[in-house]
Amino acid sequence: MKKAVSIQDISCFGKCSLTVALPIISVMGIETAVIPTAILSTHTGSGFSGYTFRDLTNDIPDISSHWQSLGLSFDALYSGYLGSVEQVQIVSDLFDTFSTKDNFIVVDPVLGDNGKLYAGLTMKNVTEMRKLCGKADYIIPNMTEVSFLLNIPYPEVCSMRSAEEALRRLAELGCRIPLITGVRFSDSEQGAAAYDSEKDEFYYSFETNIDRNVHGTGDIFASVFTGAVTLGKPLQRSLDMAVKFTHDCIEATLPAFEKTWYGTCFENCLGKLIGYVQE
């Protein structure tokens, strides 16, 4: 059985971060370990205020040391939301410890959305995240995070040419295969783009655009993509699986959106994900 570790926060309510990553990667048939970076009562997105935040930065090195003593190893190292500059640096050290020639690193540089940084993050976080991206095999920013990582204006709709230019520049941060989520060349479709810098090849995957902002979809995409690559799926297939399942989750949420505005009804779609894995 393949093994992956997901390093990000636990938002106890809100269907994002580890409460999404753990069930999704597990249902794909991958043993999934976790390193929680913080515990929040809810996520920090629109609709919630007054949430609690417990910083677990000091626990991460101890977890890493214990795992080293047990001789643990992983096929995939996957990081998501990191709430402080210090955490980014500690996770960078953890990558150095557990990275081998036989595994790979995925960094979802969770920094913001809709053109703005998430609450509590500053340009110092952006600077350190650029460095962490340089250690990754795959990075998965959304359009907002691309704008901060590359210091370019935030584009809601982009051309293929501008997307490919951004992907090339993201690869220059040091990662082998950058992806961009939330890519729209028109109002009718939305999906993701990827660039294999070693092959100098671009990859695209799109579904019908659903004009609704739904929390947690970035975590869903990154988790499915990480699982697919861990299972040895080709890049195009991994991209297609992540785009399709994310679209499935948004569609499943729309009928109940007034009640589940804080996240997706991804649980109802896990059976479809098992089918995608088996195809």
Domain count, the chain: 1
Span 106-163, pLDDT tens digits: 999 999 998 999 888 999 999 999 999 999 999 999 999 999 999 999 987 789 999 9
- Report the predicted TM-score, pTM, of the whole model to 2 decimal places: 0.97
- pLDDT at position 213: 86
CATH number of the domain where residue 161 is located: 3.40.1190.20
Span 76-90, pLDDT tens digits: 999 999 989 999 999
Residue range of the domain that includes 188: 3-278
- The order of strands in the sheet holding 53-55 is 53-55, 31-40, 3-11, 76-79, 104-107, 138-139, 177-183, 189-196, 201-208
